[in-house]
Every structure is written in structure tokens, then in C-alpha cells.
Amino acid sequence: MDKEELIKLVTRRVIEKMKDYDTHKVPIGVSNRHVHVSRQDLDILYGKDYELTRKGDLKQPGQFASNETVTIRGPKGEFERVRILGPVRKQSQVEVSKTDSFRLGIRPLIKESGDLTGTPGLDLIGPKGIVSLSSGAIVALRHIHMTPAQADAFGLKDKDMVEVETFGERRGVFGDVLVRVSDQFALEMHVDVDEANAFSLSNGDHVIIRKER
């Protein structure tokens, strides 16, 4: 191959990659450890009929970071000021990273949000009371939120698993990324702090979806 052909080939590859990047790119949202609480548990933690107050909106419509926090305590250790995300949910759920789990002394399962069967519990400590969850601590299964229209454009459907390629100084590929489709969602890939740090990703960085091979 002569030099000119090589330049043409490289150019074509770069253009293909850019096209791929434009049509498959997804912004990253890094989730630090956080808590979702049920109405009943919030009554115990913050007092009867207490309403969460809004600190800031999350990218997912209707979801918000509240000003309220709790201490989460496991058999070996605890974290203070763990943020409650609103609104209240059907059941309380604690999302931690694998690294957090070692300090807490629990062995959480990697689970899709809301699927709490067989998960370990933790104590939630609020200003008004303590809730001892018998289950509910998970390491969230990494996933991408998208609307039905976005799923169509990507050629994907709810519960598909995809690979995701990341860029930058710790480039890599995430396998087994769950696709979640709802008209209540906005396009965003959620990873925890361990996953973000392993790939040097920050909020708002872009990654691209690759077809499962």
C-alpha cells in the first residue's frame, strides 16, 4: 500500500468512527452512593409526613437530589451524609459501590434497581430514628436510560444488553450494559464511582454504544 492509499484508508476509518460516535453517543452520569426511601421509612428517619426538600434536579425527569441525608451503617463500618434521592419509592434501596461494600462489611449483589431479592440489609440512621433494613443494599447494574424514540434510533429495545466503548486516558469497553427504555427517561448511562474511576470518566463525558458481538 502506498502512502496515498494509506492516508485514504486512515481518513475513511476516522470518518466511519466519527459517524459511529455521532449516532451512538451517550452522556455518562456517575452515581455516588445514595439512598432511595419508602414513605414509611422516611417517617421513621425524618418524622411523620416529612417531605424531602429539593437540592437539585437529576437528569432523569422528576428525579431529584434532596437536601436530606442519612448515615448508612453495616457490620464493619459506616458512611455519613449519604444523600437521599427523591421522590419516595415503594421500597427503600441503598446503592453503594463494591469499594464501599468492603468498608461497610456487606456483600451486595450486582442488581438492577428495584430487584432486591436476596440482597443484604443495612441500618439507615436519620435525625429522628433508625431503620434496620433486612434487605435493600445493591451495587447497581450499569445501565443506559433512553426514551422509546432514542431506542428506535439506536436499533435497541428495553432489556437489551450492549457493549459501551469509552475514550480518554483509560480507554476501554464495558460489557453487559443493560438498556432501559421508558418515556419517563432521558438519555444517560449510569455507572458507579468504581466504574467511573476505572475508566477515568466524569459526569457528562460521552461514550458510544457498540452492537453486542
Which residues form the interface with Zn ion (CB under 5 A)? 190
- Name which of 73 and 145 has its Cβ closer to Zn ion: 145
- Name which of 187 and 208 has its Cβ closer to Zn ion: 187
Min dist CB 185 to Zn ion, Å, is 8
Q: 60 with 145: CB under 8 angstroms?
A: yes
Min dist CB 36 to Zn ion, Å, is 11
- Name which of 27 and 105 has its Cβ closer to Zn ion: 27
DSSP secondary structure letters along the chain: --HHHHHHHHHHHHHHHHHHHHHHEEEEEEEPSEEE-BHHHHHHHH-TT----EEEE-SSTT-EEEEEEEEEE-SS-EEEEEEEEES-BSS-EEE--HHHHHHHT---EEE-TT--TT----EEE-SS-EEE-SS-EEEEPPEEEE-HHHHHHHT--TT-EEEEEE-STT-EEEEEEEEEE-TT--SEEEEEHHHHHHTT--TT-EEEEE---
Min dist CB 143 to Zn ion, Å, is 6
- Name which of 34 and 190 has its Cβ closer to Zn ion: 190
Min dist CB 140 to Zn ion, Å, is 7
- Name which of 132 and 202 has its Cβ closer to Zn ion: 202
Min dist CB 92 to Zn ion, Å, is 17
Rg of the chain taking only CA atoms, in angstroms: 20
Q: Which three cell numbers stand for residue 135?
A: 434487605
Min dist CB 196 to Zn ion, Å, is 13
Which residue has the CB atom at the shortest distance from Zn ion?
A: 190
- CB-based contacts of 34, cutoff 8 Å, min separation 6: 82, 83, 84, 85, 94, 95
- Name which of 59 and 210 has its Cβ closer to Zn ion: 59
